Amino acid sequence: MADNSLAAIVLAAGKGTRMGGPLPKVLHEVCGRSMLQWVLDAVLDLKPSPTIVVVGHGREEVERSLAGKFPVEFAEQDEPLGTAHAVAAAQARLKGFEGKVLVLYGDTPALRTESLRDLVSACPKGGVSFLVAEIDDPASYGRIVRDAAGRFVGIKEERDASASERAIREVNLGAYAFDGPRLFTELAGILAAPRKNEKSEYYLTDVVGRFEKADVEVAIRRTTDPDAWLGINSPRDLARVRRVLQDRILARHLARGVKIVDPATTYVDWDVDIGEGTVLYPCTVVGRGARIGPNCEVGPFAHLRADAILREGAIVGNYVEVKKAVLGAGAKARHLTYLGDAEVGAGANVGAGTITANWDGRMKHKTTIEEGAFVGSGTVFVAPATLGKGARTGAGAIVTKGTRVPDGETWVGVPARPLPPKGTKGGNSSKEGARPGAGDPSRSGALAPGKGDDGVRG
C-alpha cells in the first residue's frame, strides 16, 4: 500500500559529461541494469506516493527505459540550473502535499532501502534530515561544515570550498528527507536569490542551509553502510560501484546454496536465477535474464547471455557461449561452442567447436537438437535446422539450412548427409529430412577409403 505521507523526487536530469558518450548519465548500467533503476528499487520499497523522476538531458531515453517497469511520474527540468532548480521542477506535481519529501540523486545505485527508511524516520516535523559519511577521499563531495562546538553550519560544495574546508572528510551523500511544505517555501527563497557560486547554479545544499538559519531542526544521519557514499561521476566510479553491487549479488546466491569457486572473477547480473547445488567456475559471466537450474555446472570461461536457460544438471564448460537458448536436463556442451537461438534436449551431448549459425544477415533462426542427440566436434548447424532424437553428426559436419536429421540417424560430411548403414553402398532406409544427393559420396568432404591422396580430396 502506498504511503500518502511520503513522496519521493529522484533527480535524473544530468548529462554526465565525464562518463563518455551520448548516453544519459543515469542510464549507464551496473550489473545488467541502469543506475537509475537501482535507485528506484531502493526508493519504491518505501512505497512513496507519488515518486517523481526529474528528467532533462536524454529525456525520451530515460522515460523509455522506465516505461511499464516502474510506477513513476516525470517532471522536466527545462534548463540545467542546478539541483534546487531540478527539485522545483517537481513542485507542480506535489501541489497540496503535506507529508515528507525524500530527495536523492539517480546516480547513487549503492544506496539501500534501509538507509533511506532511517533517513525518512529521522526527518523532524518542519525540518530536514540528510545522510553523511566520513570518507578517506572526499574529492567531489560537498563538505559538512561545523562550528567550533561541532554544530552544523552548512554544506560547502568542493568547487566553492576553501583549502581548509576541502580537508574536511565528513561529506554530504545527496540524500535528503524534507518537510514538504517547508521545502517548497525555502526553495522559493533560493530561486529568488542571485546565484553566488562558481557554477552559477541553484544548489539544493543551500536549501538545507536555509533550514538551519531558520532555526528549525536539522537531523544529520551518519550512515553505517560503508558503500552508501558511492556516487558515480566517471567510468572509474562506475567500475567501483559495480564491484560493490556484484558482491551483494554473489552473496545472495551463495546464501542460497550456489557454489561460486572464485567470486572475484565471477560476474552475475542482478536478475539471474540459480538453483541450489549449481557450481560457477572462475571467469564465468552470467548475463541478465539467465535461468540456471539446480546442480548445473557453468565454466570456467563460460558466457551465458540474455535468456539462456539451463535445466537441472546441465553442463556448460570452458569457452562456451549460450544466448537465447535452452539446455535440457543433463545436456552437455563442455568446450568451445556457440549455442544461439537453440533448444538442446535432455541428455544431449554437444561436441567441441559446435556452432549454431543462427543469423542469415537479416533474421535469426532456431536450431533444435533433440533429446539424447550427439553432436560431433566441429559441427555447424545452419539454422533453421534440427537434429532428431538420438541422432548423431560426425566431426566437421555442416547441417545445411532447412535440414532435419531424422531420429536415430548419423549424418556426416559437407554438406551433411546420411551415413550408410554398415554393409550397404549408400543411401539410408529413412528418407525423412534427406536432401537431394544425400548418400552420394561425391557430395561429401569425407571420402570413402582409397579416394584421393591419403583420404584428402584431390
Active site residues: 335
- How many residues appear in the chain? 458
Looking at the DSSP bridge assignments, the partners of residue 433 are: none
* DSSP structure class, residue 118: H
Residue 109: Cβ-neighbour burial (10 angstroms; 0-12, 13-18, 19+): buried
**Alpha-carbon dihedral sign for residues 105, 236, 168, 116:** positive
- Whether the upstream peptide bond of residue 109 has omega within 30° of 0, thus cis, is no
Q: How far apart are CA 293 and CA 295, in angstroms?
A: 7
Percentages of the chain per state (helix, strand, coil), in multiples of 5: 20, 30, 50
* DSSP structure class, residue 301: S
Neighbour tally for 134: CB within 10 Å = 13
- E-only strand ranges, 213-269: 218-222, 259-260, 267-268
Neighbour tally for 338: CB within 10 Å = 20
C-alpha cell at 41: 528499487
Cβ contact 75:40 at 8 Å: no
Cβ contact 212:218 at 8 Å: yes
Cβ contact 250:262 at 8 Å: no
- Whether the upstream peptide bond of residue 50 has omega within 30° of 0, thus cis, is yes
